């Protein structure tokens, strides 16, 4: 399970830092259905800027260490991040809880999703049903379509590694509470937050450090024991 912290080390600003992406923007103005209805140009421009940044950054040691685990384990990445750094690192199985910057979707039919890579979405870009395309992002107040799939993976995992997330944003933060009894839980974050779900887990190991170094330690430990 990865959050904004792992991408921050690659140079992507996080939504919740003091100098993060929300700076200068009301959260609901750029990340809610109401904001979209009020000012589509503002919302589209906001995500176009985020998308333009992606080619300028690259996966870091944390992303690459998680990829390395695939040599010995069946790995599923459940990420709250909307960037493509896990894909570019080479991870094979990725569940994006909050959508993907590199995709657009129809405002009329949520099942119509299109790859836009690093290209801008523009006012007037439409799906085959004639409706304006929007960023393929899960906004506040919207359902999380991939949540059930993420929950299924979490419930059967023998090992859960949490990296770079505050564990305060639900429903994603509640997934770890679905871990089966006996599952090993690792939490890597420079400022870890022990929420209610984590507090109930007897097999929790906390590493108070950045993902690039903390994940490396977890991966080395797991590979030695495999």
Q: Give the catalytic positions in this structure.
A: 98
Cβ distance 85 to 50 under 8 Å? no
Give burial (CB, 10 Å; 0-12/13-18/19+) of 31: buried
């Amino acid at each position: 399970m990865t959050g904004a912290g792992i991408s921050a080390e690659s140079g992507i600003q996080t939504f919740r830092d003091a100098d993060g992406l929300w700076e200068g923007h009301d959260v609901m103005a750029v990340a809610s259905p109401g904001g979209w209805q009020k000012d589509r140009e503002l919302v589209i421009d906001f995500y176009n800027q985020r998308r333009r940044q992606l080619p300028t950054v690259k996966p870091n040691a944390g992303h690459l260490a998680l990829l390395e685990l695939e040599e010995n384990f069946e790995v599923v990445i459940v990420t709250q991040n909307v960037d493509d750094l896990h894909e570019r690192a080479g991870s094979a199985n990725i569940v994006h809880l909050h959508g993907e910057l590199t995709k657009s979707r129809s405002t009329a039919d949520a099942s119509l999703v299109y790859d836009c890579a690093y290209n801008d979405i523009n006012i007037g870009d439409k799906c085959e049903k004639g409706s304006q395309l929007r960023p393929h992002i899960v906004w506040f107040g919207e359902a999380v379509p991939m949540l059930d799939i993420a929950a299924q993976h979490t419930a059967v995992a023998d090992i859960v590694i949490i990296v770079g997330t505050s564990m305060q944003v639900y429903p994603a933060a509640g997934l770890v509470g679905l871990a089966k009894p006996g599952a090993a839980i690792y939490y890597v974050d420079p400022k870890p937050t022990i929420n209610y779900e984590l507090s109930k887990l007897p097999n929790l190991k906390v590493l108070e450090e950045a993902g690039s170094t903390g994940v490396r330690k977890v991966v080395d430990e797991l590979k030695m024991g495999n």
